[in-house]
Chains A and B, each alone.
Chain A
Amino acid sequence: MFSPLIDELMHALKVLPGVGPKSAQRMALQLLEHNREGALRLADSLQRAVEGVARCGRCRTLTEQPLCGVCASERRDNSLLCVVETPADVLAIEQAGSYQGKYFVLLGHLSPIDGVGPEDIGIDQLLALLEAEPVAEIILATNPTVEGEATAYYISERAKKAGINVTRIAHGVPLGGELEYIDGGTLAHAFSSRRSL
């Protein structure tokens, strides 16, 4: 229905998450009809980001510098290391704003059925980092799923062997939530890891 170039653009837009044929068409027409300047800016920044952004050499999050902002910062606490699954988790914790240590991003979790073993989530790099830096505590912030728990346990065993204190973030009732609507597994966990006041 559309000319080849427009078709190609719509097809290309469909790589974005949540964008199907209808949204792709709307986006393509919006850019071509009403916002050509914006379209050029988008094309240019896409190009530069894809060419420039790689992994941080220390924590493996996304950055275009050799070391990401957090790793390069002098003000962050070098003795705390928070281990997360994805760069999005780093952003979530940074937005919460209360953590002052550094990070390590696994880029996944242990999942034998998917063929993801310890060497695929950078365990060797993590252990090398623990040896090279004065880390006193590892905070395991992998997801509270079965795979996330398996990953946390695996790392804790390896880190304990290296003589490092290991902690796991707490799981339980969300702030402002109501007990009535919380699933049984979460409640059971909240009770088993209760603390005295």
Chain B
Amino acid sequence: MFRDVALVAGKDLRIEWRSRVGINQIGPFAVLVLVLFAFALDPDRGVLAKATPGLYWIAVLLCGLLAIQRAFAVEVADGATDALRLSGIEPAALFLGKTLAVAAQLLVLAALLLVGVAVLYSATLGGWPLLMATVVSASVGIAGAGTLYGVLAAGLRVRETLLPLLLLPVLAPVLIGATRAFEAALAGTPADGWPWFGWLAVFAVIYLVAGAALFGPLLEEA
């Protein structure tokens, strides 16, 4: 099981490393989103500072969508989905491997965006344990839910437009929890943020368990 998880995650990360889509497209897109938010709210610096946690997580979600769509685009391009079904890889291992790869990409993007908000929004980053725990749990939650809904949309011709419609409402709890936790961390009151970290951790665990159980049947329909 763990061998297959590592095999799938390694394959997805190798594809991303070779194609450079994350570095050349999703990363610059993430920075661009932050810049546009800054342009929109610049006249009132107070609003920008206050909205930083929310804007940060909206940027993470938008970039996450791209990473998730990309993770399934490589599978459907030349019929690899069928080949995966023919392989001996357990669907749960496939789900966890793809989730791990997306989460790893999200962690890199989240780190890039942290630098972005520090530079562009003059945000003073603090409460590092809470910040780190929030980034990790939210990234795993986004990746888990995204991989589950990604396979649901993978077999459809309208997958590129359908996935955001399906996924963004589902990820609203992550947006709320991660934003609240970041607000507490940046305000210097991390104790107020840890319950929200718990919320994010529960979300991530629910989707990891549900994804491991449901990925197989959904892959059959893809």
- A and B associate: no
Chain A residues in the interface with B (C-beta under 8 A): none
